[in-house]
């Protein structure tokens, strides 16, 4: 038997109605359009097969796997410290943020907790990764809608964040900096001032984008009311992060769950938007970048002194057990289900990535929309291919 | 059913308030959820655990869908997180075995602060583990009370089969396809079990422990001997230590 609630019924009726409209209004011959695998709107190699009737989508099916790298299998043949090298590359724009939940899961199994300074620095890098990731989205969304300039601004200002990352970790894209029980190095001299400067720049960038793009009439027309996701449907598909907050769900793991990381020491706000359309998703992400800069500034001011590494054995063996740890990554909820058998490496590591769930809604969402809106919806859902295919 | 689904949000809100007042009732919340689940499912709850701020429940295979339904309707788990599989085969032909061996050698060279753990010869499985080789597990979450549940079910060794939950959570569709492809579990009632990552003609189930990882069979993983020294610790302690490696992605 099935659970039928009102929204399920209405969603079903809506779908049927869309079908009926297509059939009645347009008696044209159907056409199959392949979007991708190399389309710029797909941020990598995702292919979307769309069946069209005139200008309207009748049926859509994403085809993933062009970049499947088998990380869950590879994790099983690596030691815990080596796994971070792999998982850096899942969401390559949110690099450092990928490492954190895995390390936290391993720490939970070992009963180790990193010292406060390490937790602060982790949180700061986590937020820098968020800004680098979402900042690019803010520019890239413009490109998808035909405005070229914002993406140059985005790349320009992301550079400051990457330089900060490089100065502290040595890696621009793949810092590989998080360690069980702490982090690899302390912050270099002068980094804090540099970082504060970069946060000001990020806010200036947000203002600029808001001015340039969000107030733009064409942008508004093309995003408002396009790709509306009701909260209940989004949750059922497992949408998370800004995608679901843009549907009015006030849920942020950083705030709502007890995490060893330092978000609780900063005063900040979770932004939501009631509309659930492409514009709302853009708006929420813009606010998130801005809020993130405030978090970083507060944490830099309150940075405690002390060690950056808890005492852990030189050879890391994780006691047998299972742990689930998730964090609010730039793209949404990312989590690792780590099963250990007491050895050097994970016995099983299930990687729950946000983008996989975020785009699984596409067959439902794309039904009945027009071709140019497909691009808007894809861009506004914001996925990273490495994050879908793992 | 609809009356059940309508009534409890008020109760849920009350519980959420109680939770914000004091951190301790958090586990009471989970125990309450477990009690509801046990009441609804009866003997179908094989094992359960409330530990580390998390709730894990193992249910009988034929009650899998029923358990998910109870979670959805009575425990108000509105958010579908993931569904996946586990293979408890104790002796992988992967280099997993080699990993344990190296561990042993490195352990013998002796760092004193290291606790000696036995090298696992058989896989341990308790509440979290399983009686059979295969296990399907799913994670559901309540976005209002911020509480999640991990549901598990053991599957038959020769015929891993379980009911599909796509009717309850549409997001489970892709996850079941992935699990079908990676583990070979059959989800009865799934609209179309097709490959999602791998090419259509692919044979075998890559995440099963007996599926060889060819790259490792051909050439041993160079990172096996890599043990990075901790910050502040003198380098070169023990053989093979202190080499900066393992950056091969």
CA distance B74 to chain A (A): 12
Residue A292's pLDDT is 92
CA distance B143 to A41: 30
Determine if the peptide bond prior to B156 is cis (ω within 30°). Answer: no
The answer to whether the CB atoms of B87 and A348 lie below 8 A apart is yes
Q: Is the dihedral of CA B103, B104, B109, B113 positive or negative?
A: positive
Q: What is the structure's pLDDT at A176?
A: 85
Rounded to an integer, the average pLDDT of A313-327 is 81
State the average pLDDT over residues A261-275.
88
What's the confidence (pLDDT) of residue A28?
A: 61
Per-residue pLDDT band at B239 (split at 50, 70, 90): very low
Residue B26: count of CB within 10 angstroms of its CB: 17
Helix H, strand E, coil C: the string for B73-116 is HCCCCCEEEEEEEEECCCCCCCCHHHHHHHHHHHHHCCCCCCCC
Judged by CB atoms closer than 8 Å, whether chains meet at A184 and B231 is answered as yes
Mean pLDDT over B192-204 rounds to 83
pLDDT, average across residues A268-282? 89
Give the span between the Cα atoms of A171 and A175, in whole angstroms: 4
- For residues B113 and B65, the answer to whether their CB atoms sit within 8 Å is no
Contact B169 A335 (CB under 8 A): no
Say if residues B159 and B185 touch (Cβ distance below 8 Å). Answer: no
Per the prediction, chain A carries an average pLDDT of: 85
Give how far A261 is from chain B: nearest CA, Å.
16
pLDDT in tens, A129-183: 999 999 888 888 888 888 888 888 888 888 999 999 899 888 888 888 888 888 8
Using a CB-CB cut-off of 8 Å, the residues of chain A touching B249 are 85-86, 88-89, 174
Q: Of A50-54, A195-199, A366-370, B114-118, which one has max mean pLDDT? A: A195-199
Among B79, B99, B232, the residue with its CB nearest the CB of A345 is B99
**Mean pLDDT confidence for A256-279:** 87
Closest CB from A77, A232, A335 relative to B96: A77
* Contacting residues of A for B78, CB less than 8 Å apart: 232, 235-236
Look at residue A22 in the predicted model and tell me its pLDDT.
60
Alpha-carbon gap, residue A65 to B63, rounded angstroms: 32
pLDDT of residue A42: 60
- At a CB cut-off of 8 Å and minimum separation 6, what does B245 contact? B222, B223, B226
- CA B81 to chain A, closest CA, distance in angstroms equals 6
Pairing of strands B161-163, B186-188: parallel
Phi and psi torsions of A140, nearest 5°? -70, -35
With an 8 Å Cβ cutoff, are A313 and B115 in contact? yes
**Model pLDDT, residue B18:** 42
pTM of the model: 0.78
Contacts of A346 in chain B (CB under 8 A): none
Q: Do B229 and A70 make contact, defined as CB atoms within 8 angstroms?
A: no
Task: Decide if pLDDT at B240 tops 50.
Answer: no
- Select the more confidently predicted residue: B100 or B183: B183
Question: Does the pLDDT of residue B230 top 70, yes or no?
Answer: no
Name residue A59's beta-bridge partners: A51
| pLDDT, mean of residues A278-283 | 90
Q: Tell me the shortest Cα–Cα distance from B187 to chain A, in angstroms.
A: 16
Chain A residue numbers with beta carbons less than 8 Å from the beta carbon of B79 are 235-236, 238, 240
Q: For residue B228, which residues of chain A lie inside 8 Å, CB to CB?
A: 81
Which among A80, A347, A367, A381 is the top mutation candidate for probing chain B, defined by the most B β-carbons within 10 Å of its own β-carbon? A347
CB contact under 8 A, B146 and A240: no
Q: What is the pLDDT of residue B234?
A: 55
pLDDT of B104 over the 80 cut: no
Residue B127 clears pLDDT 60, i.e. is over it? no
- The residue-averaged pLDDT of A54-66 equals 84
pLDDT band at B115 (very low <50, low <70, confident <90, very high): very low
Mutate to test the interface with B, among A1, A6, A82 (most CBs of B within 10 A): A82
- Return the percentage of chain A with pLDDT > 90, whole number: 14
Q: Which residue has the higher pLDDT, B229 or A76?
A: A76
Per-residue pLDDT of A185-242, as tens digits, reads 888 888 999 899 999 999 999 998 888 888 888 888 888 888 889 988 898 898 988 8
pLDDT category of residue A62 using cuts at 50, 70 and 90: confident
Residues of A in contact with B169 (CB under 8 A): 236-238
Cβ partners under 8 Å of residue A211, min gap 6: none
CA A82 centroid distance within chain: 23
Residue A282 · residue A311 · CB < 8 Å? no
* pLDDT mean over B36-62: 80
Band (B125; pLDDT cuts 50, 70, 90): low
* Residue B68 falls in which region: left (phi positive, over 0), alpha (psi -120 to 50) or beta: alpha
d(CA A260, CA A265) in angstroms, rounded, equals 11
Of the candidates A85, A235, A317, the beta carbon closest to that of B143 is on: A235
| 8 Å CB contact of B171 and A238 | yes
Examine the pLDDT at A2 and tell me if it is beyond 60.
no
Instruction: Report which of A214, A162, A237, A163 is spatially closest to residue A7, judged by C-alpha positions.
Output: A237
pLDDT tens digits, one per residue of B141-153: 988 888 888 888 8
- SS3 state of residue B25: helix
Tell me the pLDDT band of B184, cut-offs 50, 70 and 90: confident
Q: So what's the pLDDT on residue B223?
A: 63
- Cα-Cα end-to-end distance for chain B: 51
Reply yes or no on whether the pLDDT at B103 is more than 80: no
The DSSP-derived string for B37-86 is HHHHHGGGEEEEEEETTEEEEEE-GGGHHHHHHHHHHTS---EEEEEEEE
Q: Which of A67-76, A192-201, A232-241, B217-226 has the lowest mean pLDDT?
A: B217-226
Average the pLDDT over A318-346 and give the result: 85
Please, what is the end-to-end C-alpha distance for chain A in angstroms? 34
Who contacts A293 (Cβ-Cβ below 8 Å, separation ≥6)? A127, A131, A199, A200, A202, A203
Number of Cβ within 10 Å of residue A207's Cβ equals 12
pLDDT given at position B99: 43
Residue B130 pLDDT > 80:
no
What per-residue confidence (pLDDT) applies to A284?
92
Q: Give pLDDT, residue B227.
A: 53
Does the beta-carbon distance from A314 to B111 stay under 8 Å? yes
pLDDT for the residue numbered B236: 47
Provide the token pair at A76: 């099983």
B79/A235 CB distance under 8 A: yes
C-beta of residue B110 within 8 angstroms of C-beta of residue A363:
no
Q: Is B176 helix (H, G, I), strand (E, B) or coil?
A: helix
């Amino acid at each position: 038997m099935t659970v039928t609630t009102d929204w399920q019924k209405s969603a079903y009726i809506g779908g049927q109605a869309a079908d009926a409209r297509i059939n009645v209004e347009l008696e044209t011959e159907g056409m199959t359009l392949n979007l991708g695998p190399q389309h710029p709107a797909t941020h990598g190699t995702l292919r979307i097969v769309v069946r069209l009737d005139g200008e309207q989508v009748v049926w859509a099916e994403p085809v993933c796997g062009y970049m499947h790298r088998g990380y869950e299998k590879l994790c099983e043949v690596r030691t815990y410290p080596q796994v971070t090298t792999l998982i850096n590359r899942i969401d390559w724009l949110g690099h450092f943020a990928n490492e954190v939940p895995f390390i936290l899961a391993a720490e939970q199994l070992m009963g180790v907790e990193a010292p406060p300074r390490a937790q602060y620095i982790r949180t700061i890098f986590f937020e820098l990764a968020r800004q680098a990731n979402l900042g690019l989205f803010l520019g890239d969304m413009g490109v998808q809608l035909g405005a070229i300039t914002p993406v140059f601004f985005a790349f320009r200002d992301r550079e400051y964040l990457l330089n900060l990352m490089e100065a502290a970790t040595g890696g621009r894209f793949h810092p590989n900096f998080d360690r069980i029980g702490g982090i690899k190095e302390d912050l270099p001299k002068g980094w804090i001032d540099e970082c504060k400067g970069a946060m000001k720049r990020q806010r200036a960038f947000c203002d600029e984008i808001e001015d340039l793009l969000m107030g733009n009439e064409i942008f508004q027309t093309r995003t408002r009311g396009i790709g509306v996701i009701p909260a209940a449907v989004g949750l059922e598909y497992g949408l998370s992060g800004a995608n679901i907050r843009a549907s009015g769900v006030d849920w942020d793991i950083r705030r709502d769950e007890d995490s060893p990381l330092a978000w609780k020491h900063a005063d900040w706000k979770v932004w939501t938007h009631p509309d659930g359309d492409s514009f709302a998703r853009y708006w929420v992400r813009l606010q998130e970048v801005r809020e993130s800069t405030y978090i970083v500034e507060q944490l830099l001011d309150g940075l405690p002194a002390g060690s950056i590494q808890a005492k852990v054995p030189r050879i890391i063996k994780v006691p047998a057990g299972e742990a689930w740890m998730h964090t609010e990554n730039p793209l949404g909820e990312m989590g690792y289900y780590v099963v250990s058998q007491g050895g050097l490496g994970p016995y099983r590591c299930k990687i729950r990535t946000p983008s996989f769930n975020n785009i699984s809604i596409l067959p439902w969402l794309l039904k009945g929309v027009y071709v140019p809106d497909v691009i808007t919806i894809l861009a506004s859902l914001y996925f990273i291919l490495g994050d879908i295919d793992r | 059913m609809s009356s059940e689904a309508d009534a409890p949000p008020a109760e849920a809100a009350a519980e959420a308030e109680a939770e914000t007042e004091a951190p301790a009732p958090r586990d009471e919340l989970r125990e309450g959820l477990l009690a509801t689940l046990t009441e609804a499912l009866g003997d179908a709850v094989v094992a359960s655990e409330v530990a580390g701020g998390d709730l894990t429940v193992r249910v009988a295979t034929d009650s899998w869908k029923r358990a998910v339904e109870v979670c959805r309707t009575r425990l108000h788990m509105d958010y579908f997180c993931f569904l996946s599989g586990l293979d408890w085969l104790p002796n992988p032909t992967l280099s997993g075995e080699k990993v344990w061996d190296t561990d042993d050698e490195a352990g013998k060279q002796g760092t004193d602060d290291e606790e000696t753990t036995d090298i696992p010869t058989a896989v341990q499985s308790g509440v979290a583990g399983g009686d059979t080789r295969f296990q399907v597990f799913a994670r559901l979450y309540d976005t209002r009370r911020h509480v999640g549940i991990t549901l598990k079910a053991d599957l038959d060794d020769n015929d891993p089969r379980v009911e599909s939950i796509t009717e309850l959570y549409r997001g489970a569709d892709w996850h079941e396809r992935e699990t079908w492809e990676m583990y070979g579990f059959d989800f009865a009632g799934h609209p179309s079990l097709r490959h999602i990552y791998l090419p259509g003609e692919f044979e075998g189930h890559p995440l099963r422990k007996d599926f060889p990882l060819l790259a490792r069979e051909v050439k041993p993983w160079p990172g096996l001997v890599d043990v990075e020294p901790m910050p502040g610790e003198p380098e070169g302690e023990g053989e093979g230590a202190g080499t900066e490696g393992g950056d091969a992605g």
